[in-house]
């Protein structure tokens, strides 16, 4: 009889532990679903806020607007600006030394 009663006690203990573990697993799975839903919502929100890269058409349109300005010669009486970092006097001095 003692073995039978011990077996029944163990069976009750295992059943209780199994129920507790099952409820824990269900709770953790629900948390996982909630976190995935939050992550998805956050990802969508970030995608809405992030500036989009310019499309190829908008790049072509912009370059077609600025291209004529780049290739046009300077207006009469005006000179092209010197290269960045060079002072006009230094350029004139270098040209005078070459001549």
Residue 82 neighbours by CB under 8 Å, 6+ apart: 88, 91
Q: What is the pLDDT of residue 51?
A: 75
| Helix boundaries (H) for the chain | 2-49, 56-71, 88-98
Helix (H, G, I), strand (E, B) or coil at 93: helix
Count other Cβ atoms within 10 Å, centred on residue 82. 13
Average pLDDT, the chain: 79
C-alpha span between 23 and 31 (Å, rounded) = 12
Q: What is the pLDDT of residue 28?
A: 96
Report pLDDT digits (tens) over 63-99: 776 665 555 666 777 766 655 655 666 666 666 766 5
Segment 47-67 mean pLDDT: 75
Which structure tokens are listed for 98? Answer: 């070459």
C-alpha span between 14 and 20 (Å, rounded) = 10
Q: What is the pLDDT of residue 92?
A: 66
Q: Which residue has better confidence, 72 or 19?
A: 19
């Amino acid at each position: 009889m003692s073995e039978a009663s011990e077996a029944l006690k163990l069976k009750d203990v295992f059943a209780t532990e199994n129920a507790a573990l099952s409820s824990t697993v269900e709770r953790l799975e629900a948390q996982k679903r909630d976190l995935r839903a939050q992550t998805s919502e956050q990802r969508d929100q970030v995608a809405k806020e992030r500036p989009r890269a310019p499309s190829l058409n908008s790049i072509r349109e912009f370059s077609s607007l600025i291209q004529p300005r780049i290739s046009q010669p300077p207006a009469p009486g005006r000179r092209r600006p010197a290269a960045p970092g060079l002072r006009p006097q230094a350029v004139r001095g270098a040209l005078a030394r070459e001549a």
